Amino acid sequence: MNIFITGTDTNIGKTVASSWLCLHTGYDYFKPIQTGYTEGSDSGTVFQLAGNKIHKEAYVYKEALSPHLAANFEKEIIDVSRIKIPKVENLIIEGVGGLLVPINKDYFVIDLIKYFSVPVILVASSRLGTINHTLLSLEALRARKIETLGVIVCGNLNQNNCDAIELYGKTKMLAQIPYLSDVSNMTLSKIPFTQTLKEIFLV
């Protein structure tokens, strides 16, 4: 099964969550669009943290900007039809930014998910404001009839926010990944893989 990892915002914990999922499942990893490459790639981070097979990005840009702007800086336009999902059975696909980040004049990230026709895990923050951001993201996914498996929350543990997201968002809280001062293969491997995720990934 292929699963798309998206987030409520940028720098929300998608890559850490993707690494953690790959580490516990053995899934391959694919980041279709990478921006901000001068600061390193998310593919490189996942390989360092999980060691799983990494598939080459379809588009890579230097500027740490929304894909449509990063492409414009390099005088390109992203052609979604050129983005092909690797032909493997089990794949984590990580998005860029949040759901309504523009890819080109016609497509947002959420449209790319719809184009791929794969289920989603939504990554959210534990901090103040996350309830609103997460519920809005869930509404957007439902409006496009995209299957959403549940939510992973990253950051300082906050059970009240998690309970509210689960209740008002009518979704499953799949896991909480606590704030890690040192993100490494060892620290990620110590975070228990929940029973709900084991059932989803059949591990």
110-143 tens-digit pLDDT:
999 999 999 999 999 999 999 999 999 999 999 9
Band of residue 198 on the pLDDT scale cut at 50, 70, 90: very high
Residue 202 predicted with pLDDT over 90: no
Residue 40 belongs to a domain with what CATH number?
A: 3.40.50.300
Stated pTM of the model: 0.95
Q: Which domain holds residue 135?
A: 2-201
Residue 39 predicted with pLDDT over 90: no
Residue 57 predicted with pLDDT over 80: yes
Band of residue 69 on the pLDDT scale cut at 50, 70, 90: very high
Cβ-based neighbours of 33, under 8 Å, separated by 6 or more = 57, 58, 59, 60, 61, 67, 78, 83, 96, 103
Dihedral sign for Cα 29, 14, 148, 84, please: negative
Total structural domains within the chain: 1
* Residues acting as catalytic residues: 31
Please report the pLDDT score of residue 38 as a whole number: 76
Neighbours of 43 (CB within 10 A): 20
